[in-house]
Structure 1
Amino acid sequence: MTDHRSFARTVIALSLAVLAACAVAVTIKVTSSPISVEPPRVLDQTALEKRVAGEVGGLKKGNPGAYVACPLSIVVKEGTKFDCRVYGDTNPETVFVEITSDQGDLSVSSGG
């Protein structure tokens, strides 16, 4: 009976030692290799709205209230589609935009 207890204590002690060694190894691995997380690239809002204004013929200089409104923080990913609104002399116009490359190239088409 004593041999069984002694054996059990030895197995438990050995298991705890292996567990502690694994915990130390994992801790060293996690702390030694920093994780770099880059924020996603997004389209420059001002440049995007100027580009859309240029593609649809620009906004009339005689209308100081005219502007283009596009969604904020569009992630640069090929195939992403979104709409912008052009506000000017008449009713707002919807402009359809698609990102055509991972470099941020755009395809702009008018809704009308």
Structure 2
Amino acid sequence: MAESQDNARLTSAILVNALVRRTNAAGGFAMVLVKGDATSGVILIQALEKGRESGLFERVSNFAGGYALMRCGPSPEDGPEALATYVARRRRSDPDLWIVELDIPEAERFAAETIC
């Protein structure tokens, strides 16, 4: 009997843990800013490079049945206040949300390789 696709999915906690470990092993810095639902919480990546914001990305399902990272939230040029407001609004509407900060070159690509 074939295992269903739902049973084959990795939990959010496992994906976040893998991302943090892989980032640290590659010489970058990763920190879980907000811990969400261990099983199926949405994952947001706050990407930085050498301490400078490079964007906010959300892990979303795609039409092929897999996952991708999609840019979301305000532009880094909008400043830290805009980011804080966006994150606070998202947390109010989704208390199961994970937020992970990655400071590594090409953080978006690095995260996509790990969790998508």
User: How does the TM-score come out when normalised to structure 1?
Assistant: 0.29
Higher relative contact order (CA 8 A, sep 6+): 2
Larger radius of gyration: 1
Q: TM-score w.r.t. structure 2 length?
A: 0.29
